[in-house]
Amino acid sequence: MTPVRLGRSDLLVSPICLGTMTFGEQVDAPLAHALLDRALERGIDFIDTAEMYAVPPRRETFGATERILGEWFAARPSRRDQVVLASKVAGPSRGMDWIRGGSADLKAADIVQACEDSLKRLRTDMIDLYQIHWPVRPVPMFGSVYFDPAPPAEAHSSIEEQLRALARLVEQGKVRAVGLSNETPHGVSEFVRLAEQAGLPRIATVQNPYCLINRVSDNALDEVMHHLDVSLLAYSPLGFGLLTGKYDEGGFDDPRQTGRMALFERMKQQRWGRPESLAAARAYNRLAREHGLTPTQLALAFCYRRWSVASTIIGVTTMAQLDEDIDAWSVPIGPELSAAIDAIRWVHRDPAQ
């Protein structure tokens, strides 16, 4: 795998990133450390986490993932210099009153304090890529579809205020580069415009969902990011497990399954739990098998080969899953298969949006 540069930053990363949100919930510390070791051995030097993790978010597991990573760094001091470490500050509360008291805003002081808290949990002096997990602005995200132009009920911090907080962290040497997550084309454009206008840190990345059942980024965001030199980090490339084929037969209530959609009732209420999402996933999974591939191979190869994706974030709970996901890097997507993928999309249009 050839390293890729993130935006206009000096960060060079592997085109596969190890996501860690299962660490501290489905994955305990010993297994997490073994997975991290294995990923690094196989050439994965990019690790993504967040203050909010583990997932599904709970008061009891807030910060647990970062602590597990910090323990890994402490036990293996040489590892920190071998990886590019990304983390995220949570946006305004989405029912999580344990994060900044359930604040509906994300102020400059909140960003600075959150970063300092993450540094302590991670046992490091610097976070290579620090991201705002979701916008402060009331925009469609996490399954909502339509923008509401009505003024928000409460005032919220401006993009420039957030950028100035990130600039402070960069100036203090606590952060190397900055990014966004769950953002819109307008948001990306404004962050870049204001940064360039005020001489503030330019965002290097946007971490958004991207997979066969959610290709919303292909509709305008890809053009914006291409022209502004901002890199896409694709999360949920397997559609929360729907694109592995595990739910094809018994659905989410199959007692044989141990995936997130089977274990956590709240996940079934989200975009990945829509009947339309499962129907589309089944169509893609069937296509994979018709072409001699596993569903996982097709879903990951699609992301790995997409011109607009800089690095694909994989999440695993077993060593076998990690190896399978990395092995999929060598799977090609030819013109015939690519056309068949697009044909399914015409019928099942981004149901997990």
- Give per-residue pLDDT as tens, 153-168: 788 999 999 999 999 9
- How far, CA to CA in Å, does 55 sit from each of 23, 68, 107? 8, 14, 24
Expressed in angstroms, the distance from the first to the final Cα of the chain is: 30
d(CA 334, CA 302): 10
Whether the CB-CB separation of 120 and 78 falls below 8 Å is answered with no
Q: What is the pLDDT of residue 266?
A: 81
**Cα 137-155-270 angle, rounded to 5 deg:** 35
Least confident of 52-56, 223-227, 260-264: 260-264
- The 10s digit of each residue's pLDDT in 67-91 is 999 999 999 999 999 999 999 999 9
Q: Residue 294: which region, alpha, beta or left (left: phi > 0; alpha: psi -120 to 50)?
A: beta
CA distance 180 to 191: 9
Higher pLDDT, 63 or 153: 63
Residues assigned a catalytic role: 53
The rounded distance, in Å, linking the Cα atoms of 7 and 225 is: 9
Query: Which residue bears the tokens 């597991």?
Result: 61
Question: For 188-222, how does the pLDDT look when each residue is reduced to its tens digit (9 = 90+)?
Answer: 999 999 999 999 999 999 999 999 999 999 999 99
Q: What confidence tier does 27 reach under pLDDT thresholds 50, 70, 90?
A: very high
pLDDT digits (tens, 9 = 90+) for 38-52: 999 999 999 999 999
Query: Would you tell me how many other CB atoms lie within 10 Å of the CB of residue 341?
Result: 18
Q: How many CB atoms lie within 10 A of CB 25?
A: 21
Largest CA distance in the chain: 55
pLDDT band at 151 (very low <50, low <70, confident <90, very high): confident
Residue 92 pLDDT > 90, yes or no? yes
Mind giving me the DSSP string for 144-199? ------SPPSS----HHHHHHHHHHHHHTTSEEEEEEES--HHHHHHHHHHHHHHT
Q: In sequence order, what are the residues at sequence separation of 6 or more whose Cβ sits closer than 8 angstroms to the Cβ of residue 308?
A: 217, 218, 222, 225, 226, 232
Q: What is the mean pLDDT of the chain?
A: 96
The pLDDT of 298-309, averaged and rounded, is 98
- For residue range 165-193, what is the model confidence (pLDDT) as tens digits? 999 999 999 999 999 999 999 999 999 99
Q: How high is the pLDDT of residue 257?
A: 81
For residue 23, give the DSSP letter: B
| Residue 286: pLDDT band with limits 50, 70, 90 | very high
Residue 179, strand partner residues? 131, 205
- The confidence band for 267, taking pLDDT boundaries of 50, 70 and 90, is confident
Return the percentage of the chain with pLDDT > 90, whole number.
91
Residue 16 pLDDT grade (very low, low, confident, very high; cuts 50, 70, 90): very high
Q: Quick check: 296 pLDDT over 90?
A: yes
Q: Which two tokens stand for residue 40?
A: 């690094």
pTM (2 decimals)?
Answer: 0.97
pLDDT of 105 > 90? The answer is: yes
